[in-house]
Amino acid sequence: MFRFECPKPAYDRIVKSELYSLILEKKELIGDILLYRQPFWSDFGKEVLRESVNYVFDWENKISDRWNYYREMLEFDEIFEKEDFVFEIGSFLIKYPGFLASLVLGEKISNFEKFGFPSRRSLEESITSFCIGEKHVVGWEDRSYFWRNGDVKNEISSNEHGDFYASQTDVSGEDYVKKEKDLFGKRESRIFSTIRETCNIIAIRAHQDWTMFLVSILNYAKQIGKKEMYEIVKWQEVLKEIGFVGTNTAEAFGGSKLNDYLMERPNLIHGGNLEMFPIFIGEDFIPYIKDDKLMYIKENKNGEISLDFTERFFEKARFSKVNEYFPEDLPHMLKATYKLFARDRTLLPQIMNSFMNS
């Protein structure tokens, strides 16, 4: 799976500077452009085109730093009209990052050094990758919950049918090297430009019930001594703060009774005993706790993980790690699951009450 993300060094510069508030000021317009895929439909887009025509065809402006920007905007418009962007506009905006960057900064775009960037282009690419990658910030994504932890960007999401997705993407930018020209020739920059990354993902479709994912998180919290954490004890208050997203399924209007057996199923624990069949997320992923980390592992004959349990379970089986979470991820995992829990939300209070009374 490929996606566009803002690398951590550029992301940190944005959120810790004036850039973040400037992006938020324009988030509705940015969201409309990304959602409706019509960059030149807005008043800003029309003005850019008008200025570009006037500027590019005035030969005296060719010595100006702005000439390349306006030339790119005309090329942007010409190619956009010929292409079909019904489903994806991100890659196109990445190729012409000056558009969104100018929308955010206006004339301030020339002050790239003030914002901590080595060139105007690196500033443009960073702003554009932020707007595309952090879609929840600009307000055009409500079926996902995102958070960052170090070099990893986490996402837990649900579609309108309640299908479950949990992904982790390396956003360190360490494997993306961009050559930039300066007065001394060329230099390498690893930290400012957009990256395109594969990510680890757990995807459970069809008749997915989020019960076992939530139970696996609660079991993890209990195992590492976090059963009394605020996000568990005051889960109803947390839910009020973050809200919830419904699904268009018959189960969403149900009233199922929780099977107590589900609450008794354990996570795998490194070095522990396994007396009953463990939790499975869907058909493939098993929660596994080691060194206070919660991993979701999947059977793989060439995997790096072997499980030393009795022959009743997983004899000679090997597994690979898919996603890995740390104690500091727990509040976010719980918030995401409360918000998106599917398909029958009447199970949520039953699970929480059962867990806290156990």
Are 101 and 222 members of one domain? no
pTM (2 d.p.): 0.85
268 domain-assigned: yes
* Residue 159: pLDDT band with limits 50, 70, 90: confident
Are 192 and 302 members of one domain? no
Q: Which among 108-112, 165-169, 320-324, 328-332 has the top mean pLDDT?
A: 328-332
Are 234 and 120 members of one domain? no
Q: Return the half-sphere exposure (C-beta side, CA atoms, 13 A cut-off) of residue 158.
A: 24
Cβ within 8 Å of residue 47, ≥6 positions away = none
Are 219 and 286 members of one domain? yes
- Whole-angstrom CA distances from 331 to 194, 270, 341 are 29, 23, 15
132 domain-assigned: yes
Q: Are 109 and 102 in contact (CB under 8 A)?
A: yes
**For the chain, how many structural domains are there in total?**
2
For residue range 63-121, list pLDDT tens digits in order. Answer: 666 788 888 888 888 887 776 655 567 888 888 898 999 999 988 888 888 888 888 88
Where among 168, 186, 203 does a domain terminate?
203
- Within 10 angstroms of residue 186's Cβ, the number of other Cβ atoms is 8
Quote the domain boundaries for residue 299: 211-356
More confident residue, 80 or 224: 224
More confident residue, 35 or 165: 165
More confident residue, 256 or 270: 270
109 domain-assigned: yes
> What is the model's pLDDT at position 140?
63
* Residue 323: pLDDT band with limits 50, 70, 90: very high
For residue range 132-152, list pLDDT tens digits in order. Answer: 989 888 776 678 999 999 999
> What is the model's pLDDT at position 190?
45
Are 134 and 157 members of one domain? yes
Percentage of the chain beyond pLDDT 70 is: 83
Are 196 and 260 members of one domain? no
> What is the model's pLDDT at position 60?
67
Kindly report the backbone phi and psi dihedral angles of residue 172, in degrees, each rounded to the nearest multiple of 5, phi listed first. Answer: -65, -30
* Residue 194: pLDDT band with limits 50, 70, 90: low
Quickly tell me which residue has 């579609």 as its tokens. 159
Are 220 and 320 members of one domain? yes
16 domain-assigned: yes
pLDDT greater than 60 at residue 206? no
Average pLDDT over residues 274-278: 82
Nearest by Cα to 13 from 153, 122, 97, 100: 122
> What is the model's pLDDT at position 67?
81
61 domain-assigned: no
Are 196 and 96 members of one domain? yes
71 domain-assigned: no
76 domain-assigned: no
Where among 168, 187, 203 does a domain terminate?
203
Are 22 and 93 members of one domain? yes
Are 193 and 235 members of one domain? no
Tell me what the pLDDT averaged over the chain comes to. 83
Are 323 and 252 members of one domain? yes
Alpha-carbon 64 to chain mean position: 38
How far apart CA 12 and CA 30 sit, in angstroms, is 20
- Is the preceding omega at residue 66 within 30 degrees of 0, hence cis? no
Where among 163, 182, 203 does a domain terminate?
203
Kindly report the backbone phi and psi dihedral angles of residue 124, in degrees, each rounded to the nearest multiple of 5, phi listed first. Answer: -60, -45
- Which two tokens mark 62? 């060719």
* Residue 1: pLDDT band with limits 50, 70, 90: very low
250 domain-assigned: yes
- Which two tokens mark 12? 């940190």
Are 191 and 321 members of one domain? no
